Amino acid sequence: MRIDLHTHSRVSDGTQTPTELVVAARAAGLDVVALTDHDTAAGWDEAAEAALAVGTTLVRGMEISTRHRGQGVHLLAYLPDPEHPGLRAELERIVDGRGSRAPAMLAALHALGIELTLDDIATDGVPGRPHVADALVRAGVVATRDEAFARYLDEGRPAYVDRYAAPLTGMIEAVTAAGGVSVVAHPWGRGRRAALPPDELATLARLGLAGLEVDHQDHDAGVRDELRGLARDLDLVATGSSDHHGLGKTDHELGCHTTAVEEYERLLDRAADAAAASGRPVPAVVTPGS
Ligand code: AMP
Ligand code: FE
Ligand code: FE
Ligand code: ZN
Phi/psi for 102 (5° steps) reads -55, -50
Q: Which residue's CA lies nearest to atom 6 of ligand 1?
A: 129
Angle at 130 between CA 150 and CA 175, to 5 degrees: 115
Task: Provide the pLDDT for residue 136.
Answer: 97
pLDDT at 273 over 90: yes
Distance CA 191, CA 48 (A): 35
Contact 212, 184 (CB under 8 A): yes
Q: Is 226 in the pocket of ligand 1 (CB under 6 A)?
A: no
In our burial notation (b when 16+ CB lie closer than 10 A, e otherwise), range 207-233 reads ebbbbbbbbbbbbeeebbeebbebbee
* pLDDT at res. 162: 94
The preferred substitution site among 7, 13, 243 for testing ligand 1, maximizing ligand atoms within 8 Å of CB, is: 13
What average pLDDT score do residues 132-140 get? 96
Sign of CA dihedral 211, 214, 215, 216: positive
Q: What is the C-alpha separation between 249 and 257, in angstroms, rounded?
A: 15
Ligand 4: centre distance to CA 273 (Å): 25
Between helices 168-177 and 261-278, what is the axis angle to 10°? 80
Residue percentage of the chain with pLDDT more than 70: 100
Cα–ligand 1 centroid distance for 180 (angstroms): 25
Q: What is the mean pLDDT of residues 114-124?
A: 93
Residue 191's pLDDT band (cuts 50, 70, 90): confident
Quick count: other Cβ atoms within 10 Å of Cβ 54? 16
Predicted pLDDT at 260 = 98
- Average pLDDT of the chain? 96
Strands (E), the chain: 3-4, 32-38, 57-68, 71-78, 166-167, 181-184, 211-215, 237-240
Mean pLDDT, range 224-230, rounded to an integer: 98
Q: Does 21 have pLDDT greater than 80?
A: yes
Q: Write the pLDDT tens digit of every residue in 253-263.
A: 999 999 999 99
Residue 125 has pLDDT above 90, yes or no: no
Q: Is the CB of 147 under 6 A from ligand 1?
A: no
Q: What is the mean pLDDT of residues 37-52?
A: 97
Ligand nearest to the CA of 36: 4
Ligand 1 neighbour 134 (Cβ under 6 A): no
Q: How far is CA 116 from CA 14, 43, 95, 103, 159, in A?
A: 21, 27, 21, 10, 12
Over residues 65-76, the mean pLDDT reads 96
Cα separation, 251 vs 257, whole angstroms: 11
Residues 141-168 pLDDT 10s: 999 999 999 999 999 999 999 999 999 9
Task: Report the separation in Å between the CA atom of 37 and the middle of ligand 2, taken as the mean of its atom positions.
Answer: 8
Report whether 63 contacts 38 (CB < 8 A).
yes
Could you tell me if the CB of 130 is within 6 A of ligand 1? yes
Cβ(146) to ligand 1 under 6 A? Answer: yes
Ligand 2 centre from 14 Cα, in Å?
Answer: 7
pLDDT band at 90 (very low <50, low <70, confident <90, very high): very high
pTM, to two decimals:
0.96
Cβ of 129 less than 6 Å from ligand 1: yes
Give the pLDDT confidence score for residue 250 in this predicted structure: 87
- Identify the band that residue 134 occupies on the pLDDT scale cut at 50, 70 and 90: very high
Segment 219-228 mean pLDDT: 97
Q: What string of H, E and C letters represents the secondary structure of 39-107?
A: CCCCCHHHHHHHHHHHCCEEEEEEEEEEEECCEEEEEEEECCCCCCHHHHHHHHHHHHHHHHHHHHHHH
- pLDDT for the residue 124: 82
The rounded distance, in Å, linking the Cα atoms of 169 and 207 is 7
Mean pLDDT, to the nearest integer, of 117-134?
91
Question: How far does residue 60's CA lie from ligand 1's centre (Å)?
Answer: 21
Residue 249's pLDDT is 86
46 C-alpha to center of ligand 3: Å? Answer: 22
The CA distance from 208 to 185, in Å, is: 15
